[in-house]
Amino acid sequence: VQLQACGGGLVQAGGSLRLSCAASGRTFDNMGWFRQAPGKEREFVAGIYDWRGALTSYSDSVKGRFTISRDNARNTVLLQMTSLKPEDTAVYYCAADNGPITASTSLARIDYWGQGTLVTVSS
């Protein structure tokens, strides 16, 4: 199983980016996005829990600005990020697991990680 994340880049504050994470080797109902800013711990951003993409959750810091969704035809999970702020600057990682990925999920418990994609938001 591999997770390939892409879509990061440099954007001005207030701008938008869309990250994608393509899974190969199997399909997952439970996928999510985390981020890690310099000098900080990796933190939960968003999770998606069903094949239809109807069940999702978000951290308070991104709720209302970020949207997680899935493209099942491509076995891909997307993270649409809008109204970006400098504090959103981080390396973003996608994750997949056999169980739900939430803000309380132990990082050590997650089965699969993507390689990370850097998002830089300038002020």
Distances (CA, A) of 57 to 14, 67, 100: 22, 9, 10
pLDDT, tens digit, for every residue of 10-47? 999 999 999 999 999 999 999 999 999 999 999 999 99
Q: How far apart are CA 87 and CA 115, in angstroms?
A: 21
Helix (H, G, I), strand (E, B) or coil at 73: helix
What integer pLDDT is reported at residue 118 of this predicted model? Answer: 98
Q: How confident is the model at residue 116 (pLDDT cuts 50, 70, 90)?
A: very high
pLDDT, tens digit, for every residue of 40-79? 999 999 999 999 989 999 999 999 999 999 999 999 999 9
Q: How confident is the model at residue 121 (pLDDT cuts 50, 70, 90)?
A: very high
